[in-house]
Amino acid sequence: MIAGPSDILVIADKDSNPRHVAADLLSQAEHDNGRAVLITDSPALAQDTAREVERQLLELPTRETAQASLEKSGKIILVRNIPEAVRIANALAPEHLELCVDEPFTYLGQVKNAGSIFLGRSCPEAVGDYFGGTNHTLPTYGTARFSSALSVEDFVKKSQFTYYSEEALAGAAEKIALFARQEGLEAHARSALTRREGETK
């Protein structure tokens, strides 16, 4: 996978605590080139979180790095509702996704692209980093669209196999040859066609 900048996307509703949301955004912004995004359906939470980020930055030992990250790629996105927020999250495919909403399990099945998902208001991303037990080797930079967290599957060697009967190959040989010839690979085409009875070219 591409080891891009660490990132977090927080989906939060009106009942979320802006102090907590701001702290979670800063937890990834303090990484060099970290990306922090809040998506909310609450204008009040968006404003309060922005103010809280500024306040917490003043006290943060890693302020210089966090501020540079926020200026470069920090965002607050206002949406109509939480399902719209989830759709945007799927498009962005974050490394870390927090669902700071009522009934987060309601939305879990709608999340298609995220490295690691943190459910509820009492589950900050730092739980996954240090204590919760989930893998911390995650797809970054939007690669959660096509890859997953590191798992035992990555260390399992597998072989695939294919079997075609004589009849099955006879029915598919022309199509195989068509693909092969589109690539200019005539020997590939003939290897399929020659197995048909009486076929030589």
Q: Which residues are catalytic?
A: 95-96
Q: How far apart are CA 54 and CA 22, in angstroms?
A: 9
Residues in the chain: 201
d(CA 185, CA 69): 50
* DSSP state at residue 49: H
SS3 123: coil
Burial code of 51-87, b = ≥16 C-beta within 10 A, e = fewer? ebbeebbeebebeebbbebbeeebebbebeebeebbe
**Alpha-helical runs (H) found in 34-165:** 43-59, 63-73, 82-92, 105-108, 125-130
Tokens linked to 164: 């075609």
The secondary element (H helix, E strand) that includes residue 169 is: helix 166-182
